[in-house]
Amino acid sequence: MKHLNISEEVSDALSNRKPVIALESTIISHGMPYPQNYETAIEVENTVRDSRAIPATIAIIKGIIKIGLDKNEVEFLSAEKNILKASRRDIPVIISQKLSAATTVSATMICAKLAGLKIFATGGIGGVHRNAQNTFDISADLTELAQTNIAVISAGVKSILDIGLTLEYLETMGVPVIGYKTEEFPAFYTRESGFKVNYKIDSAKEIAEMIKTKWELGLNGGVIIANPIPEEFSMDKNTIDNAIEEALKEADEKGIKGKDVTPFLLSHIKKLTEGKSLESNIKLVLNNAKLAAEIGVGLEDS
Q: Which residues are catalytic?
A: 24, 158
d(CA 29, CA 31): 6
Of the chain, the end-to-end C-alpha distance in Å amounts to: 29
In degrees, rounded to 5, the angle at the alpha carbon of residue 211 between the alpha carbons of residues 55 and 188 is 65
Sequence letter at residue 192: E
Rg (CA), the chain: 18
In degrees, rounded to 5, the angle at the alpha carbon of residue 187 between the alpha carbons of residues 232 and 143 is 140
C-alpha distances (whole Å) from 208 to each of 14, 57, 190, 195, 298 are 18, 21, 25, 24, 6
Q: Is the dihedral of CA 20, 24, 27, 28 positive or negative?
A: positive
With CA atoms as reference, report the closest residue to 127 among 118, 137, 113, 119. 137
d(CA 152, CA 258): 24
Sequence letter at residue 57: T
d(CA 169, CA 79): 36
Tell me which H or E stretch contains 140: helix 140-147
d(CA 264, CA 1): 37
Burial classification of residue 32, based on how many CB atoms lie within 10 Å of its CB (0-12 exposed, 13-18 middle, 19 or more buried) = buried
Evaluate whether 88 touches 106 at the Cβ level (below 8 Å).
yes
